[in-house]
Amino acid sequence: MAKDDFIKGVLYVMNVVYAVFGLVTAATGIWFFVQLSEFVALRNSNHYLLDYRVYWPQVAPWLFILLGLFVMIVSFCGWFGASRESRGLLGIHAVFLILIVLGQVIAATLIFVYVDGEYTDIFVKDTVYDGYYNSQSNPEVFKAFGRIERKLKCCGANDARDYRSWRNDLPLTCCLDSYYRATCDFTDKEANERLGCAKVASVYTKIISSSIAGASLIISLVEITGVILAWKLFNSLREVEHYITERKEGETEC
């Protein structure tokens, strides 16, 4: 029994870790989706009326959200299974953990192959360029593009020179201390040294996607350990049930 209690204790801890990982993964997916939507909202929708293509940066947040929710559900199943010593819940927990591990490996592989490829650069750059050009004629889009410049510390689509064709000065969002400055001149060294938002956004998209994919692979190793422990406790409970069934009526353990 001491061995079973130890396995149950480890399973409790591991399922708490799974739940936290699932929550963080789902929250990161939601955050990623919101950030991506902020970029996509800058585009001129008329240019994309007939564009039905789905790009991997748009798919990745949903993979993270669904994976996170599924991991949380499975972790609760494992926790209750260990707590109530339910072979049924433990069996379901082990099977779904195996499915999660396979899903994480497949999702991480797809992300490393596709999100970290040239199609991500094309999608992000096209979106930023379209948003930048749309900002020249739409004041609301101009403000929204400025918020992105502040957030990512970038300037223009390619760089600060993008503004020279239609403005006499740089927007304040290209300046490091624009909160305390009335204007942001073309001679401003910090603003002119900033990278374009297309480059910065593409790099951030790859870093975020690859980081979560890498974390999924690492946690999958822990999940494999959880499968082994859940299976051991599952078999141990079967032996106990078999022993109790085989005892004759009225027979004591002594």
Q: Look at residue 247 and tell me whether its pLDDT is greater than 80.
A: no
Q: Is 143 helix (H, G, I), strand (E, B) or coil?
A: helix
Looking at residue 158, its pLDDT comes to 93
Confidence of residue 248 (pLDDT cuts 50, 70, 90): very low
Q: What would you measure as the largest C-alpha separation in the chain, in angstroms?
A: 97
pLDDT tier for residue 145 given thresholds of 50, 70 and 90: very high
pLDDT digits 0-9 by tens, 187-204:
677 778 888 999 998 888
Start-to-end C-alpha separation, the chain: 17
Report the alpha-carbon distance of residue 50 to residue 174 in Å, rounded: 34
**Percentage above 90 pLDDT, the chain:** 12
Written as one letter, the residue type at 103 is G
pLDDT band, very low/low/confident/very high, at 30 (cuts 50, 70, 90) = very high
pTM, entire model: 0.74
Reported as a single tens digit per residue, the pLDDT across 51-74 is: 667 677 788 888 889 989 998 999
Cα 131 to its chain centre, rounded Å, is 24
Share of the chain above pLDDT 70, in %: 83
Do 60 and 115 touch, CB atoms closer than 8 A? yes
Residues 89 and 81 sit within 8 Å (Cβ to Cβ): yes
Q: Categorize the per-residue pLDDT at 86 as very low, low, confident or very high, splitting at 50, 70 and 90.
A: confident
